[in-house]
Structure 1
Amino acid sequence: MVKAAVIVLAGTDSHADQGRLANGLETAKEFAETDGDDVELIFDGAGTQWIPELEDEDSDYHELYRTVRDDTSVCDYCAGAFGVDDIVNDAGLVTLDDHDGHPSIRSLVADGYEVITF
């Protein structure tokens, strides 16, 4: 069994950021589709800005996002800092605030997760 934490840090400002989002979603999907694997998809930092677009059914990435949505969580602090906390809450996504309002990367490592950032 493989345990992977895919963390999307890329914001929404550039074409390169869009590519990192797509690659992060595809990576999470590959783990999610593999029997026995455990994946956590975390939107952190500027990456939290993607949530409004991903929740929009007209988004180019909505369907891909839907394949991993059940494995998705969002940094609580960063959702507020980037002004998407209402959308995150309305979507019913899990927020993480384990370490000073942010996800605990150390806990993921201690639990045996390979951490992959995009």
Structure 2
Amino acid sequence: MAKAAVIILAGTDGHENLGRLANGLEAAKEFAENDDDDLKLVFDGAGTQWIPELEAEDNDYHDLYQTVRDDTAVCDYCSSAFGVEDAVADSGLVTLDDHDGHPSVRSLVDDDYEIITF
């Protein structure tokens, strides 16, 4: 059994960030497809900007995102800092604010999750 925390930090600007998002979602999907694995997908920093994009059904990565959506959470502080707090709230996704308004990476490490960032 693998325990993986995939953290998307890439923002929405530029082709390279789109590639990082796609690779992060594919990595998350690989863990999600294995019933023995435990996945946490976290959108943090500029990565929070992807939520309104991915929630849109016409987005090229919407279907891929839907395969891992149940394992997804978003940084509370960063969703506000990057101006997407309303879209995150509308999405119904869990927000994390364990450490000064941000997700606690230490808690993930303490719970034996491998941290993978994109």
Residue matched to 1:25: 25
Q: Matched residues in 2 for 1:55 and 1:13: separation?
A: 17
In the TM superposition, what is the alpha-carbon distance from 1:40 to its structure 2 partner? 0.3
Divergent runs of 4+, >2 A: none
Residue matched to 1:54: 54
Matched residue type, 1:35: D
Equivalent residue of 1:26, what SS?
helix
Equivalent residue of 2:83, what SS?
coil
Gaps of at least 5 residues in structure 2 are none
TM-score normalized with structure 2 length: 0.99
Q: Matched residues in 2 for 1:40 and 1:2: separation?
A: 11
Residue matched to 1:64: 64
Equivalent residue of 2:35, what SS?
coil
In the TM superposition, what is the alpha-carbon distance from 1:53 to its structure 2 partner? 0.6
Aligned residue pairs, count: 118
Residue matched to 1:107: 107
Equivalent residue of 1:4, what SS?
strand
Residue matched to 2:42: 42
Q: Matched residues in 1 for 2:70 and 2:88: separation?
A: 13
In the TM superposition, what is the alpha-carbon distance from 1:106 to its structure 2 partner? 0.2
1:83 matches 2:83 = yes
Q: Matched residues in 2 for 1:80 and 1:35: separation?
A: 33
Equivalent residue of 2:101, what SS?
coil
Gaps of at least 5 residues in structure 1 are none
Equivalent residue of 1:102, what SS?
coil
Q: Matched residues in 2 for 1:81 and 1:48: separation?
A: 9
In the TM superposition, what is the alpha-carbon distance from 1:35 to its structure 2 partner? 1.8
Give the share of equivalent positions with the same residue, in percent.
Answer: 77
Q: Matched residues in 2 for 1:16 and 1:25: separation?
A: 14
Q: Deviations over 1:55-87 (max 9, x none)?
A: 000000000000000000000000000000001
TM-score normalized with structure 1 length: 0.99
1:5 matches 2:1 = no
For the aligned residue pairs, the C-alpha RMSD in angstroms reads: 0.3
